[in-house]
Structure 1
Amino acid sequence: MTTTPDGTEVVASRAEALQLPSPPLLIVDSVTQFLDDNALGDGPIDWQRIGDGQSNITYRIDRGAETFILRRGPRPPLPRSTHDMLREARIQHLVGERGIPVPRILASTGDESILGVPFYVMSFLDGEVITDEIPVMLDTLEQRRATSVAIVESLVALHSVDVTTGPLAAFGRPDGYLARQVERFASLWGVTSKRTLPAVAELGDWLRGTVPDSQRASVVHGDYRAGNLMFASRAPAEVTAILDWEMATLGDPLADLGYLTATYAEPGVEPTPLELTPVTREAGYLRRDEIAALYEQRMKVDLGDLRWYQALALWKAAIFCEAMYTRWLDGERPGDTFGPTLETGVPRLLEGAREFAGIGSSRTS
């Protein structure tokens, strides 16, 4: 049995798991049997938790000479509409068929008797994910700029995929996407929060009353940022995989651009809990307005309403971060060091959204 700051994370057998007050995240014999059933490797497994995700959980699984990645949701209880691992696996398969760089899905299951939640296994890709350290091969002014350009070019490629035909066309309903996003997240606040933050309703009203007309439909990743991209372990900078597809759907592509730019770290901008790649504050990386301008040039779209999309991004982020904060308050995220920071982090996200909306700054708590 392996104990971590998260509580008991991994146990050897189902018998051990049944003795725990809170379910573990991995059960070694269950995972081993699942890999056997799908002809994935041979022999005992080693595991390592990877990534900075605060929602779904990612493990590296080493088995003999082979390496896999296992993705699962957090511990129950969870709303049935969240953490849909089978849907996440399917969208990666579909965009991969269209030439978007993603890991290959090897096996998936909705059988909750194995780990307590649905999960999937995908191929392991060797590369660099940029968060708080710059990979040596990309740490020149030229390659820092090239990294920013690659981030934009990868997003342009995703948003250029045709979603009007084939299986992708049935993956979502792009018509009315923005209005549905506002209504959906507005409805979540009352069931995820134990406190009153007036800016949530204020911003919801503003967003609802100023919804822009979508210019096109595309795959929307939903969490598109530098930390969810894998880069080749060499120069020049090249995105070799887009990761973490749990929020993907069809909709307005500017929602991704709004999120990317609103959460992008640059000098002079106060950090929020969504600033997960702080190195872009360093010299050489493009700034938010340069990223937007490059995207606009490549996609031939009008970015006159970009601040609406940026406000939407931080408002939504505040609401789903509040859900994490509430779960931490309720003891459902044992050992979590991110949860307590959201007491002030969520109001900061709301202040950022107000700034983008241009409706003034005020206390949110």
Structure 2
Amino acid sequence: MTEREPMGTLKEKASTDGDGRSLANPSDVAVRIYHSDDTAASACEPVMFEMAEENCMQSQGLIKGLLPESPLSLLVGESQTGKSGIAIEMAACVSSGFPFLGLEVSQTPVVYLVGEGSRDKFMNRVTAVRRRFETERRGQMQAAFLHGHFDLVRNVGSVVDAAYSCASALRGRYGKRAGLVIVDTLSSMSLGTPENTPEGMGAILAGLGRLSSSLDASVLALHHPALGNKKDGPKRLPRGHGSLYALCDACLYADGKVLSIVKTRDDDPSLVLGYKRRTVYLARSSTYVVDLDETAATAKPSNVSNDMKVYSELVGNPNYRNLREIAVRVGLAPGSVSNALGRLANEGYVRKTGEGKKARFEPLARVALPLAA
């Protein structure tokens, strides 16, 4: 376990509210929202240095090989596949420094915002994980969990205020700045916003960008997959406009048994983690926690589909559009690339112009992620 280096400087905030009450107790955050000013230090200030190897910024990510330090990462999965359980386990491991499903983490406090489902059921899951850490792992979770109604588009200021208050409470108690904010789920915090349009998704991305820059923290958003008929095709992409997938630095997919990497910029995309949900009985109810399942991982050694490879290359390399050039870049046969492009075009992720040798393919992603609103 290594301690996370700060991404930047977060402006200090007073640890008391207007009535002089201390915010050091995270339970205070759940009953009241404390307002912050809009003058938090920006993470966009230029850094000047010579291009020498010793000056290169090194980071293993929040979870080594899986979750980078990034303004936006995604965890995608259908309902009832354990997305929230995985995210809670991530929050517990990252905030305590305990390995996540066997992977090394960079310890940092975590703010977890949940906007859907029953508050009692969600807190039961958190309680089960906390008890396991206290008894089995002898660790301390440095995390704040807040359930409520949040809107990243129409009322992003209150979302930032709530997250900032949680981060201030964590800093007052542990003396460290929160380095990760988890949004559960993206759709519940953007109700009524047309996520399939560039304008709608642009507004959602602006809210996520403001959340990340205001707290100077990485953001992991939970989301549902796009509709599709192919299990290994476009269904693993996040639902909504293609700019969401194009602008995230990492996209993880949970299918109920395996957690795999759909997109990554620096890590190994073939990494696969098997997991299983284990029932835990509390005093008056039952819930589940997520455990490592090595048999599930070995049964499915790779799930990076041709569709994902082709789409990622189209988005990340805008200088070529010819089918054969794409095939060379992704290392697939032209026929496989052609089939993948056809499926992506049918699902609305790629636009085709021309026919035959003059055919060109364009990813439908045109919105830039604003780092500050």
TM-score by length of 1: 0.26
Larger RCO: Structure 1 or Structure 2 (Cα < 8 Å, ≥ 6 residues apart)?
2
- Structure with greater proportional helix content: 1
